[in-house]
Amino acid sequence: MSDKKDPYLYPGTDTLINNAGIRDKKQLEEFERSR
């Protein structure tokens, strides 16, 4: 992970900011599969 801030990721993670507010990558993947 880069030290550079990415405005599309939750700080300190590699998870994209999303409407569901899920910060855990695995939970987000499960959420997206269930839709």
Confidence label for 7 from pLDDT (cuts 50, 70 and 90): very high
Q: Is residue 1 part of a domain?
A: no
Which residues constitute the domain of residue 28? Answer: 8-34
User: Mean pLDDT, to the nearest integer, of 11-34?
Assistant: 97
Helices (H), 1-35: 25-34
Domain count, the chain: 1
pLDDT of residue 3: 60
Provide the pLDDT for residue 4. Answer: 78
In-domain check, residue 3: no
For residue 18, being part of any structural domain is answered with yes
